[in-house]
Amino acid sequence: MQVIKRKKEINSIVKKLRKDGKKIGLVPTMGFLHEGHISLIEKSKKQCDITVISIFVNPVQFGPDEDFARYPRDFERDRMLAAEKGVDIIFYPEPSEMYAENHLSYVKVEKMEKVMCGKFRPGHFRGVCTVVLKLFNIISPDKAFFGMKDFQQLAILKKMVSDLDIDVQVVECETIREPDGLALSSRNVYLKPEERKNANVLYRAINIAENEIKKGNSITASKNKAVKMLKDCAFVKKIDYFDIRDPEDLKTVKKPDSKKPKILIASAIWFGKTRLIDNKVIEV
């Protein structure tokens, strides 16, 4: 396994590999790898000849009051895990390698970046789109693997790829969960033991909403029942949103529509000082 820190170097390595007919898979990460990332790596290894993972805590997607500085990092552990899982190349650039001091160019997927998490994290998806486009240009993968846990990110990136004719296939991968249902996230390490015990309330609330909708109850009533469950949990300090939306364009769904049977239930809540997100796409 190679660890590459320079854009030019990885670019020339993957160019050679592509010339030799190798299919390149990319798993973009911010490091602190967990089973969710591992499942992406395994999928890439099944579908591609060469698996590249990027480890880069992207400053541009963090707001000024967010957790960029304290975001968990442990490169040695990540390196060992990646090697063990058969990753071929880790791309591990410094922020100064990724962004020139006078960086001015950004990609936006308008409208979709303003709702859900975008409403509470202004500029976040602009940062995500920009870094992912850069990684695509540097590594030119055939396929890129993203988890459904960050569903809005996935929907926005799929839209960006389609709108901008980017020649990369986005592969979406199921959310990996703890036995109690909590979605895996690098940020789960922030949770105190008591918080951790109760954190699956988010997944349980989403499941409640799912059941209510499937029983034929209205979107509003279903959502209210789920929100009540969240509010009744003492550890939930704030509900950023609990939304029922179209999983493709992220527009609000007011009523189930038989022509669009798929519905996204997505929520973000504050568990103490930790922001948790989760979602589920259901079929009605």
204: exposed, middle or buried (C-beta count within 10 Å: 0-12, 13-18, 19+)?
middle
Stretch of residues binding a copy of itself (CB under 8 A), selected from 75-83, 126-134, 234-242, 267-275: 126-134
C-beta of 65 vs 110, nearer to a copy of itself? 110
Helix, strand, or coil (residue 73)? coil
Q: Does 167 bind a copy of itself (CB under 8 A)?
A: yes
Residue 103 among the catalytic residues: no
Q: How far apart are CA 35 and CA 38, in angstroms?
A: 5
- Is residue 160 a contact point for a copy of itself (CB under 8 A)? yes
Query: Is 258 near a copy of itself (CB under 8 A)?
Result: no
Return the residue of 83, 164, 189, 221 that touches a copy of itself, per CB under 8 A: 164
| Number of residues counted as binding a copy of itself (CB under 8 A) | 30
**What is the distance between the alpha carbons of residues 160 and 136, in angstroms, rounded to a whole number?**
12
| Residues 6 or more apart in contact with residue 87 via CB below 8 angstroms | 1, 41, 51, 52, 53
**Cα Dmax for the chain:** 58
Single out the residue of 77, 86, 122, 162 in contact with a copy of itself (rule: CB under 8 A). Answer: 162
What is the residue whose two structure tokens read 């846990």? Answer: 149
Binding piece for a copy of itself, criterion CB under 8 A, among 38-46, 66-74, 165-173, 188-196: 165-173
CB 186 within 8 A of CB 30: yes
Name which of residues 67 to 106 contact a copy of itself (CB under 8 A). Answer: 100, 102-106
**What part of residues 129-148 is at the interface with a copy of itself (CB under 8 A)?**
129-130, 133-134, 137-138, 140
Tokens of 197: 């015990």
Give least dist CB 57 to a copy of itself, A: 18
Contact 58, 127 (CB under 8 A): yes
Query: If binding is defined by CB under 8 A, does position 14 make contact with a copy of itself?
Result: no
Is residue 117 close enough to count as binding a copy of itself by CB under 8 A? no
Catalytic residues: 37
